Amino acid sequence: MANRILIVDDAAFMRMMIRDILTKNGYEVVGEAQDGAQAVERYKELKPDLVTMDITMPEMDGIAALKEIKKIDAGAKVIMCSAMGQQAMVIDAIQAGAKDFIVKPFQADRVIEAIKKTLG
């Protein structure tokens, strides 16, 4: 069975890029969310194997959403997505329980490497 992934990013074209990379590599994208609050709801509803989570989003940012998801499921696997120069936020995310992070602009091989490593 393909690993089920939830993509969270406020930019539709970023979600599309990640979806494209994942589906080409045999992963199943079970849902998308455009902000942190929606991500938490979609996580409860879909129970994905892994989440790719943008850090900077309106409503609720990725770090707040990560913390909420970890309250629901301590074993949640979340990979943060950040733009260059967000090192402090990446450190906060790792401390909050993120498994890894990928930097925008995405390189397909790095995305797949992070997902394989996180899913073990």
CB 5 within 8 A of CB 112: no
Find the radius of gyration of the CA atoms of the chain: 12
Nearest in space to 30 (alpha carbons), one of 63, 54, 9, 6: 6
Residue with tokens 């509803």: 45
In this prediction, residue 106 has a pLDDT band, given cuts at 50, 70 and 90, of confident
Residues whose CB is less than 8 angstroms from the CB of residue 46 and which lie 6 or more positions away in sequence, other chains included: 4, 6, 30, 31
Kindly indicate whether the domain formed by 2-50+58-117 is annotated with CATH number 3.40.50.2300.
yes
- pTM of the full predicted structure? 0.94
In this prediction, residue 11 has a pLDDT band, given cuts at 50, 70 and 90, of very high
Q: Where are the domains of the chain?
A: 2-50+58-117
> Residue 21: helix, strand or coil by DSSP?
helix
Could you read off the pLDDT of 61-98 as tens digits, one per residue?
A: 999 999 999 999 999 999 999 887 777 888 899 999 99
